[in-house]
Amino acid sequence: MIRVGVFGAGGRMGSTVCRAVHEAPDMELVAAVDPHHAGIDLHQLGVHGTQIQVAAKASALADAGAEVAVDFTVVDAARENLRWCAQHGVHAVVGTTGFGEAELAELAEVFEAAASNALVAPNFAIGAVLMMRFAELAAPYFDSVEIIELHHDQKVDAPSGTAIATAQRIAAASKEWAEDPTRNLVAEGARGASVEGVPVHAVRLRGLVAHQEVLFGTTGQQLSIRHDTTDRTSFMPGVLLAIRKVREHPGLTVGLDRILGL
Ligand code: NAD
């Protein structure tokens, strides 16, 4: 049994992770930390059949003998939690978004010297990880590419981090793209945003969750690669896989690709 603690247990993702870990046959949920929900019982968060109360401090993980900590918080908290994990020999699986390149390089050094490992993944939906990989593989064989990302009507940033990452990987995989034919831009923005030369269109619509389509075209054929996230549980197989595998990957691993063997 893998002993797991969860940072951000009172949040949307954290409480979903608590449920998924509690239901996993090879894992035991041993601690839950969230300073803004401290003192409440986990069953109030929909995790039934456990006596665990949400704690205010990371020390609850050490007291409970957690081997792996999962973090879905905010980047300032995740930064501190990661360092705590490195200092206490606890493996870390982090879904919190917002880490910059320089910070990840710094964390790589921290975990190089630590007795435990860390995995930071901005997208735990295995289908989304595969979509990016498939897009990268397809890129050299097509002349045109466009990305359409579609999200719920509360999303404050555009385009999405996944769309930006997909465009960057497509651009790295091929430089041979047909010229944009547009000579008369009748309405500003009609051709979307350009991310490393790849047009990206962001749709915001009530009722959607997170969706993306990558459209490739060449003479006589088109390829569409689409991924739809319809529920937060879509992230759980990726999170559980990372919990199982993080021990086997020394230092810091960024993204799920390596864990999936891609
Ligand atoms: P949320 O606001 O519902 O939950 C965050 C929780 O973290 C809150 O309950 C808050 O009290 C808690 N928290 C704050 N400081 C803390 C600390 N020091 N220690 C422990 N807990 C602390 O947010 P959410 O929707 O669950 O998203 C959380 C993060 O996960 C965001 O960064 C989001 O972008 C990211 N996210 C990542 C993926 C992925 O696949 N990697 C998917 C969805 C969301």
Q: Where are the domains of the chain?
A: 2-120+232-260, 126-229
Domains 2-120+232-260 and 126-229 in one fold:
no
* CA 29, 18, 91, 55 torsion-angle sign: negative
Inform me whether the pLDDT recorded for 100 exceeds 90.
no
What CATH number does the domain located at 2-120+232-260 have?
3.40.50.720
Q: How many angstroms does the Cα of residue 72 sit away from the middle of ligand 1?
A: 4
Which residues lie across from 211 on neighbouring strands? 150, 228
> Among residues 107, 73, 64, which one has the least CA distance to residue 87?
107
- Predicted local confidence at residue 232, as pLDDT: 87
Question: Hey, whose CA ends up nearest to atom 34 of ligand 1?
Answer: 97
User: Are 8 and 38 contacting, i.e. CB atoms less than 8 angstroms apart?
Assistant: no
pLDDT, greater one: 262 or 176 = 176
* pLDDT per position as a tens digit, 118-132: 999 988 999 999 999
- Residues 126-229: name the CATH superfamily: Dihydrodipicolinate Reductase; domain 2 (3.30.360.10)
218-248 per-position pLDDT tens digit: 999 999 999 999 998 999 999 999 999 999 9
pTM for the full predicted model: 0.89
Name the phi and psi angles at 211, rounded to 5. Answer: -140, 150
Is there an atom of ligand 1 within 6 Å of 124 CB? yes
Catalytic residue among 151, 211, 227, 245: 151
Return mean pLDDT, the chain: 96
pLDDT band, residue 42 (cuts 50/70/90) = very high
Residue 156 has pLDDT above 90, yes or no: no
The answer to whether residue 245 is catalytic is no
Q: Is-catalytic flag, 155?
A: yes
What is the mean pLDDT of the segment spanning 188-209?
96
- What is the identity of the amino acid at 37? H
Is the CB–ligand 1 distance for residue 16 below 6 Å?
no
For the stretch 206-219, pLDDT in tens is: 999 999 999 999 99
Dump the DSSP string for 121-161: -S---HHHHHHHHHHHHHGGG-SEEEEEEEE-TT--SSS-H
